[in-house]
Chains A and B, each alone.
Chain A
């Protein structure tokens, strides 16, 4: 199979000698129209890969910030089908930026796994992260997704010891996502040293690029991760930006969209500069 957009993007980043920025936003947050505009401007703001949450009523691995983002989107009429339509529209203009859908299995199960994979692939989705599908359930969606040519990205966590790691890496493709804390999204920030050790451990077992996420909020934290990993994932901080605008400015869309993009620009600048000021670029 020819390389996916995700694989090509990480190859390009490696050539540039820098880490990437992966942004996470809940699909349809705060409403489908504003979300489409946020999505359209992410690349220009400096995102290298785009992760979109598939809204779900019961996001068990997410903290209050992303839970609220899911509920805002659902209340505004967001559905999985509508999200795929929005990715299709995005893909007509942007042929290269990888799009990864992240979420929980039930909406896909209800949509029909096979039909979902067909429609997601046709829409221009590149990869999937399904929080509640561990390797033990690979037959459900992971194996059919790989067959379809989509990447299936798995989370490794601080509880993933050497005994468990081969199972986690087994059918993972595109990149491996290291969850830097034992906990839910939006909780405590990771300890840089511990993350460094964990990334080094992962690298001994896989050639896949390593992205690190959960708890990364500021440009400084993102830069810290960019020195040790292939990409930094920022989610709750962006979703919080949306939440605070929705609450204070009665959702003036242009302002909200601009604020999210400004936040992404700050993170992207830090990630791009990170290895320039460190002693050993690309170490």
Chain B
């Protein structure tokens, strides 16, 4: 018998998540086998599962995952390293903010991926193209959220800092950034989502390197189970990135 507090326990969400996943898997299998969903469009989940061994052995999935993860990692770090200071600059310098903030917001909505031929010309068919395009795609949310977070810091906290005669650098490091951190992290989460999609998308588009290219290849060979299996690996990599981000966040902000 499950005790009443079982739903509060740590294992509960994990078990619930896993059983939901398996349930969906089985349901899809049944629907496909009975022909409710077309087998030529969606492969059987069991076939996808069996394809995993093949793509691991034959398609160098580990190497490809490493390439893709590396491009993602560089892009994810770069959007933070570039985006947070840019957001701080827009916060600090009001004329710049008035001039640029709308443009930054527009950047977030622009279909930059269509500009890939331009980047191909500049950077060649290389990981650099993937990274540069992904960084540009993912930059806007971090910039906007950093500015927003800093503008939202309660003025009394800033006054505490001023009354203690803190320097600008101390103020930024010890009051403004910690106070804005929750909002900045929501920006990082959005940006990383854009970056991860973009890395795989552009690999696919320019047929280069890691998992994106593999998906492209397998799809062209009409290997549907393999394609879906490879997509599974993309999801795995994304999950790892967001788990890491959550670790970093809980380390940076103790329970408030």
Are A and B associated in one complex? Answer: no
> A residues near B, CB below 8 A?
none
- Identify the B interface with A (CB < 8 A): none
